Amino acid sequence: MQTPPTPRALEGSDLETWASLATVLEWLPPALDEPLEKAFDLTHFEYGILYALAGADHQSLRIGVLAGYARSSISRLSRAVTRLESRGWAKRSRDPLDGRSIVVALTDEGRDVFARATPSHEENVHRLVLDALTAAQKRQLLEITRRIQRSLREEGSWRPPAPPS
């Protein structure tokens, strides 16, 4: 029988590092939501759904794939899609290739709202995160966040598609 590991206290610089990251994790989501909600009645999570759909083939994805991209439960994603559907920005249908699966598609209105919200969202990301960092710090942040992602899930996370050549 293996002995359980000895608990390690959070103290000193480890505590300071964790507290700083925990604060960012708490403060950043509402700061990303606020301008999107004010201008477009859209949360950052919902914007992410529109983003994934806008970049997908035929601007549609199976709900399970979309949940994987969003790192969300199907129920949370389904509630968000219901909100997007109620506004006419997305629509659900049965997958024609597999009638058991649900496909979520971006509507014309959804494409329009996504196109209008993107500049505001991108400016907010620059203002809140990227502009505060040097080029070297941005590279470090990328490496740090990828390491943390791998410690959470082996498969890593969604990455943007490579730019066309």
pLDDT for 6 equals 84
Q: Please, what's the b/e burial string for 21-37 (b: 16 or more CB within 10 A of its CB; e: otherwise)? A: eeeeeeeeeeebbebbe
What CATH number is given to the structural domain containing 84?
1.10.10.10
In a domain, 61, yes or no: yes
pLDDT for 165 equals 46
Q: Phi, psi at residue 100, to the nearest 5°?
A: -80, -20
Dihedral sign of CA atoms 28, 33, 36, 42 in order: positive
In a domain, 131, yes or no: no
Condensed to tens digits (0 to 9), the pLDDT of residues 111-165 reads 999 999 999 999 999 999 999 999 999 999 999 999 998 888 776 555 555 444 4
pLDDT for 137 equals 98
In a domain, 69, yes or no: yes
Condensed to tens digits (0 to 9), the pLDDT of residues 81-116 reads 999 999 999 999 998 877 788 999 999 999 999 999
pLDDT for 115 equals 97
Q: Which residue has the higher pLDDT, 33 or 64?
A: 33
Condensed to tens digits (0 to 9), the pLDDT of residues 54-65 reads 999 999 999 888
Per-residue pLDDT for 71 more than 60? Answer: yes
pLDDT for 12 equals 94
Q: How many CA atoms lie within 13 A of 150 on its CB side?
A: 6
In a domain, 15, yes or no: no
In a domain, 84, yes or no: yes
Per-residue pLDDT for 15 more than 50? Answer: yes
pLDDT for 158 equals 54
Domain region containing 54: 30-117
Query: Number of structural domains, the chain?
Result: 1
In a domain, 2, yes or no: no
pLDDT for 33 equals 96
In a domain, 6, yes or no: no
In a domain, 92, yes or no: yes
Tokens (6 digits) for 126: 């620059």
